[in-house]
Each structure stands twice: as structure tokens, then as C-alpha cells.
A and B are shown apart, each in its own frame.
Chain A
């Protein structure tokens, strides 16, 4: 007899139960939960895993990819024992050393990120159940999608069919995030590698939380469902008709934006009011209605608000500037806050009559209101925008050119602005030029500006330097009109069937995921350039979030963006936007589905085996070129546990640690050959699990290199090496010095480069090695060994 307390509910199974009065056979009782008896796939070893269930797997990865810690400062200031100086080999008052403290910060970041997405999912599912009922079916793409929630299947061991089914997985994610966060308390975890393992766990919970949020909204809001031909939507500063009243939505959690579209539709006002968005809520509202438009990524917030183009701003949650209300007040734009996580100090007016709120906002009696009911947000936002627009008359606080010139003359070039600028932009030099009437240098800085406005805060003369840049670059801003493919959602099973083999064999050289925020070292264009480079090379290029927007913000000579030039399918040379931040699990899900659909591996609660499969076979790499947030940290962490390497841009070096392989240590790169049990050297494939690229050129070379996997066939490896060598030669001017580490036998050598490479192999004393059936898990060896 088995009595199993499955995480939340009681589940009792008995093969044969004898009592004085009866014999019961095959008893299966669940209290509070329905067991999926129609699912023939056997349950794997880790359903609803605890914080330590996958620790052994984590340790395997962390033994190969050891942390390199990068402290911001010497101290810990998290409790009243401190501050504690942790420099050198000192320990804090609690006994923690610097390595553990840095890994603790990583865990904190990942827990914050996972909590944010999971709470997002909780809110969304709760709202949708309230509105559509718990039996509302999940639909990710009809008959094209059989594996509807690959991450949730893999991690939790369930296959949700309705909105209500999602709650078990959210319960699990919430519980695990709480455990992860609790481990960061003073006097809890003390070992850095265990902190790292818990950070992986938080990342895995984050993947579940994100997947739930997206599959719920795709199903109920009827977003594009795994659609390679999702509509092309408008994006850019100049796409809206600003003669119309304009509503700007900012954030990530879309119901309030949908409330606006629904109200406009109901009142037949869609053609009379512009709805524009910034950040992921913009992506998601355009998945709902092509009438909505995207202004740009997160860094576009201030420039847009200060230009006075929005007649009303609706904020929901995540990545919204904390000073939105203050900035909006400067241009007489009312604000509606709509999330319990971001109340902005406003009175909760959810229960007040809409007419009262519209009147208060229109007459300027209050700068903003807090409304938790998305439908009421819709009504109040639309009616207020219509009423306010003529009064505001697009009032802007952008300065006149004369003001900038005068400020330029008064600037003392104290450098405080430059020292505050994350990208060390030469603002004082630009002000000097402005004093002479030349605003071009200020406009050039706007091109690379992340929109933080720390320069404004730092200026001792209180010059609104960011506004100066926006004014100087205004003409270029107005010309920003691009097309981006709307977020398509999941990858179809049939797409996986077609490319699974070529990916695992290495013949499609890799899957590149361009994800994350817009904290770029030098503007949007780098992402577009990287995306196009790999699309041309016939990698599969996936995008999401702000990176998906940035990829659209460059046009070719024919005026086309990459989304117009490349197909939107999961195929060689495809460029597909999966959607917003919470759509990232569709990328992980594609890798997971390859293991299931192509390799027929069981997914159900079978995390370790599938992660091992992906790590050794699926040449996928994430690039978060502008990663900024804790959410980006947890998203990356979810990929790490699956064994998928992630590269961040230079600002990502501030995440406190990298996970780096050492290609010079041969002993680190052995795997088991599952066929024989032999240990086989496979080279540094992939070399790192988490690293920073200093430049876009380096990022491109790294991507090509990190796509190599032990399982590559000789043809596949040869193709991958061709891309790596070609990019290396282009950007570094020379042949890579580690080429011998990736060649198993002479068939791996790209044909056109054979003489050159054979010479190198001879110089390096290269020896041929086997191509194994690779695994890091001893239990996967099919032949019994000692």
C-alpha cells in the first residue's frame, strides 16, 4: 500500500486492502484533487519537486560550471548585525563568507523574479477564473499542440486542461519561491553551492509561473495560438496618430489594457482613441488587438511621457518607473494605477462610480486613481482620455532649442551627469556643442540612452538633460515606424517534429533566444544586428519582451524589419517573437518538446533526465543583451537548470556571479557514453552556463560557439564550426585558438578549411575521440557498469 501526501492534497493508493469485512483491490482515492488516469505516460521521479529534489543535478552542473563571484562591494548590509566587512577571508557576524553572500544575492534576485512572475500568474488566473470560470479550457493551438504546457508537465507532472487545473502548479510555485526566499534569511543556508542550487530551483519555479500566466492569457483572450503568421503590428515612437486622444499603457499584466480595448470596442470608439504601450503589456495588448500599438521598450518611458503625447497613462506592474505619477503630473496627464503591487500612494477607488472618477481626473482634482477592476479601468481610462485631450492639447515639457543652448552656455562641465550615466555618455561635451547651437551630439546620445535620467538627478544646475536629448533627437523619434510580428505563443508540435532531428544532430546550427530588458550598452540596434546575423546563418532566432521590440527597430534599405524579411516559424532562418516576458517558457518548452516528440522521452515529472538530454543535445543559447531586472535573473536561472547557456551584455556582469567552464581543464569535460558506460572526453560543449559578453561582436562569436553539443553529428559539428570560425575570423581577425577542442574526428572539420585546420591539429598534438551517446547521469547508462 502506498500513502502519498502529494504536496497539497491527500492521495491514497492501495493495490489490495483487506479488512474484516471486505477486500478492496486497486483502491485510488484523492481528496481535493483529480488524478489524471487517462495519462499513460508514467510519472517520473520528481513530481512537484521540493527545494532539494534536484540538488544532485544542480551539483553536477555547478561542478563543471563553477561560480565566479563578482561582488559590488565588500560588505553585507542585510541585517542589524551588520554592516559586516566580508573582504578577504573575513566572515560576517552571522558566519557567512563572501562567496556565500554573493550566491545569496543571486538567490534573492532569482526569488524576487520568480515571485514576480508567479504572483503575476496568480493574479491573472484568479481574475480569469472569476470572469470565465475555472472550467474554461486551455487552448495553445488546437490540434497543432498536444503538449500544452511542457514546462509544467516536466516540473510538476501534471497536464492542465482548464484554468482551474493551473492552480495546483501555481500553489507549488508559490510554495517553492517562499522556501527559496526563506533560505536567504540570516542564519539559514551557509554554503554557496547550495545557495546556487536554490537559485536554480527559483528559476525553475519561475518558468512554471511564467508558463501558467501565458497559457492562461493565450487561451482565454484568444491571443495568437502558436501562429507562425501572427499579424505584423505597428511599433515605434511615430506610429500613433496624436491628433486623437491617446492612452499609454505601461507594464506587464494585461487585463487592464484589455479592459480599455473592450470598452473602446463596445462603444465603437476604436478608431477615435489611440492605445499605445511600452514594455510587455504593450506586447500582450497587441496580441489581443492589432488596433493597439507599441511605442517601444522599457527605456522609452520618460521620453514619451515628457513629450506630453499621452493624455492618460495606465500602469499595471513590473518595470514601471517609480516616478511615473510625478512625471505625468508635469505634463498634466492623469494616471490610473491598476495593480495591487504598484499603488503609487493613490486612494483605492475601485468601488467608486466611474463617472465620479472620470470627473475627478478630468478636472484635475486628483493626479491619479487606483482601480483594481480591469473593466472599470477601461471605462475610466477611455472617457477620461477623451475628456482630457482637448484640455491638455498635448502639453509637453520638452524644452525649446533656445533653452538648451542657454543651458549649454551655463553648463560648467562638472561631469556629474557623465559620472551618473550607466554608459558614460559624453553629456558635458554634448552640452558644450549645444552652447554653440549644435544639438547633434545630444541627439546621438539619445540613440544609446537607456532612459534612466540619472543625469537629470545628478546635474547641480537641475538641467533636465534627458529632455534636452529627447528634444534634440525628436526628428529621429518621429521617424520611428516599424513592423513587429505579434507574440505567437507556443511552438507547434509539428514544427518540433520537423526540426527536432536537425537540431539534435546539429544540422540546424542552433536556437538563439534574444530575450530580456533594454539596458543596452549602446542602443537597440545591436539586438537587431545580432538577430539578423543568425537568421541569415539559418539558426532559429526566437525573441521575447523588450528584446523582441529592439529586434524590430532597424529597417533595411527597402524599409523592412527582420520580422518582415524572415519567416515566423520555428525553422532554420526563422525569426519568431514568442511574446512578452511570460512567454519565455515557450522557448524552453521547445527544447523540452524536442526531447519528447523527437526522442520519445517521457516528460512527466522527469526533470533531471530531460535537462540532461537538453544540455547534451539541444544547441540552444540565450542572449539577454540588456538584462537589467531580477526577473531577467530568474528567467536565466530557469534556463541554467535545463543546462542551457545564457549570455548577458556587459551590464549583466553586475548580477554578482558567472557560471564558467574551464576549457583548459580536460577533466571537466567527460560524459558517460550511455551505450557503453565509458567516460568520454567531449570538449567544452557548451563551455559556459552563464557569462558576459563585453561587445556585440564577442556575443556573436560566443553564441556560435555555445551552440555546440556533445551529441552533434560530424555533419552538424562541421556546420557549427563553420559559423564559429567564420564569425571569429570576421570579428577577431584570426582563427580561434581552441578549435582543436571541438574536433572529435576529421569528419568534423569544415571541408573548405581542412588544410588550415589539419595543420593546427598537428601543432596542438590533437587526438581523435569518440562521439558518445552523451549523458551526465550514471543511471542513464544502458549497459550495466560498476
Chain B
């Protein structure tokens, strides 16, 4: 795994408070296990084929099935989930879920209380960048993880810029260690 703690888009500099690097998949596993109320926010780029001709939405589905983490599908991503026979917990715009996660009084999709960990994946890099910034500054008690293969410095934790193969391998390990297949 190559590590480069620089934002993928060169000019997207975060400032003093930057995401901690996830150098091992086990970090994500531990974070997920520790979280009491995790949530996955999944954008439309997960429905596109990557350089290895895979769609990362497949990893999302496996991860959610393994852990029971609810999925919020942004934009029209819900359609691909439906096609694959998977029911996301909600479909709403990226701004709407960001705005709700920011609100410490929001009791979540199920009304059972605020989330403490939000895992992001598949939004346009720059859009995820600013939403994560909004959450970094205005949410309380919420940690964020960027699961994309690019370092996104406004998250609490982020992968470094990864090659597609390494990224896939990382997901396999995470899902495997969380009891999925």
C-alpha cells in the first residue's frame, strides 16, 4: 500500500486540522466495531466501473450486510441498490444527509439517537471535501471516515491516495474482518 498524505486534488488544502491516515484496514475495522451508531453515506460514483472494472457499490452492500450499518444513498444511487436487490435505509441528497448529521439533536433515520460515526464513499471528491469540512466544524460527537481511494483531509480519518488494486484489497480485508463474505 502506497501512502501519500496529500489531498488528491492538489489545491484542496484543509488547514491545521487534517484527517488521520488509515494505514491499515484494521483501523477501519476497529472504528466500526467501536462505534455505537455508525452510518454509511454512499454517492453515485460507487455505481461507476473503476479501473479494475468493478463497482465499489458491491463493497458497500457487502459491508452493510456484514455489519448492519444503515446506508444512505445520495443522488440517484438508490436505483443501483434497488437493481442489486439491496434496500438502503434512506435516499436523500448529500447536502440533506450532511445537514442532518451536523445536527446533534437529530435522532437518526430510525429515531434512536445521533450517529457517532459516518463513513463516506462515492461522492465527487470536492463535494465530499466540503461536506466533510462542514461536519468537522459544526457537528459534535461525530467522527467521519472517507472510504474513497483518495486522501480527503477534512475527514477524521481517511485512506491515503491508493491504487485501485490496493483499495480493493483493503475492502476485502475490512469486510472479512467484520465477518462478511
Contacts and interface: CB of A to CB of B under 8 A. Distances in A.
B10 A68 contact: no
A75 interface: yes
Counting chain B CB atoms within 10 Å of each CB, the highest count among A72, A701, A737 belongs to: A72
Given A653-B131, A693-B93, A694-B123, A75 B78 contact: no
Given A658-B99, A694-B94, A731 B13 contact: no
B20 interface: no
B76 A420 contact: no
A419 B150 CA distance: 10
A69 B91 contact: no
Nearest to B98: A68
A419 B127 contact: no
B91 A74 contact: no
Contacts of A74: 14-17, 133, 137
Contacts of A429: 51
A692 B127 contact: yes
Interface in B18-56: 43-44, 51
A734 B82 contact: yes
B95 A692 contact: yes
Interface string A633-658: 00000000000000000110110101
Contacts of A69: 134, 137-138
A416 B93 contact: no
Interface string A40-80: 00000000000000000000000000001111111100000
B143 interface: no
Given A87-B16, A732-B76, A737-B90, A694 B99 contact: no
A697 B94 CA distance: 14
A319 interface: no
Interface residues of A, number: 46
A459 to B, nearest CB: 12
A694 B83 CA distance: 20
A74 B96 CA distance: 22
Interface in B43-93: 43-44, 51, 74-76, 78-79, 82-83, 90-91, 93
A489 interface: no
Given A68-B98, A692-B94, A701 B78 contact: no
Contact of B78 (A85, A98, A416, A734): A734
Interface string B130-155: 11011011100000000000000000
B15 A73 contact: yes
A74 to B, nearest CB: 3
A722 B48 CA distance: 30
B136 A694 contact: no
Contact of A71 (B43, B78, B83, B134): B134
Contacts of B15: 73-75, 85, 87
B9 interface: yes
B10 A692 contact: no
Given A660-B99, A691-B93, A732-B91, A71 B126 contact: no
B130 A653 contact: yes
Contacts of B82: 732-734
A598 B91 CA distance: 38
B76 A68 contact: no
A429 B8 CA distance: 17
Nearest to A651: B126
Nearest to B13: A73
A98 B137 contact: yes
Contact of B138 (A75, A98, A697): A98
A424 interface: yes
A694 B138 contact: no
A662 interface: yes
Contact of A695 (B9, B17, B76, B102): B76
B113 interface: no
Given A68-B98, A662-B99, A694-B43, A650 B137 contact: no
Contact of A698 (B93, B133, B134): B93
Contacts of A521: 124
A688 B124 CA distance: 21
A70 B133 contact: yes
B95 A697 contact: no
A99 interface: yes
Given A424-B125, A662-B99, A737-B90, A72 B130 contact: yes
B137 A654 contact: no
Contacts of A416: 10
A702 interface: yes
Contact of A72 (B79, B123, B133, B138): B133
A88 interface: yes
A422 interface: yes
A653 to B, nearest CB: 5
B16 A85 contact: yes
A93 interface: no
A771 interface: no
Contacts of B100: 662, 664
B91 A70 contact: no
Contacts of B123: 694
A74 B75 CA distance: 27
A622 B57 CA distance: 32
A680 interface: no
A701 B138 contact: no
A99 B134 CA distance: 10
A731 B76 contact: yes
B114 to A, nearest CB: 14
Interface in A664-723: 664, 688, 691-695, 697-698, 701-702
A464 interface: no
B16 A75 contact: yes
Nearest to A66: B99
B100 to A, nearest CB: 8
A718 to B, nearest CB: 23
B33 to A, nearest CB: 26
B138 A99 contact: yes
Contact of B75 (A72, A73, A656, A698): A698
Contact of A87 (B12, B43, B136): B136
Interface in A176-223: none
Contacts of A656: 130
Contacts of A658: 95, 99
A433 interface: no
A346 interface: no
Contacts of B127: 650, 653, 692, 694
A654 B99 contact: no
A458 interface: yes
Contacts of B74: 694, 698
B139 to A, nearest CB: 11
Contacts of B13: 73
B133 to A, nearest CB: 5
B79 A71 contact: no
Nearest to A698: B75
Contacts of A654: 126, 130
Nearest to B107: A664
Contacts of B91: 732, 734, 737
B44 A695 contact: yes
A698 B17 CA distance: 32
A647 to B, nearest CB: 10
Interface of B: 8-17, 43-44, 51, 74-76, 78-79, 82-83, 90-91, 93-96, 98-100, 102, 106, 123-127, 130-131, 133-134, 136-138
Given A68-B134, A98-B138, A694-B124, 20 more contacts: A68-B99, A70-B134, A73-B13, A74-B16, A87-B15, A87-B137, A419-B9, A420-B11, A422-B126, A424-B9, A654-B130, A656-B130, A658-B99, A660-B95, A660-B96, A660-B99, A662-B100, A691-B95, A695-B44, A737-B91
26 contacts: A69-B134, A69-B138, A70-B131, A70-B133, A71-B133, A72-B130, A73-B13, A73-B15, A75-B15, A75-B16, A88-B17, A99-B138, A416-B10, A419-B9, A650-B127, A653-B126, A658-B95, A660-B95, A662-B99, A693-B75, A694-B44, A698-B75, A732-B76, A732-B82, A733-B78, A734-B79
Q: Which 3 A-B pairs have the closest CB atoms?
A: A74-B15, A70-B130, A733-B79
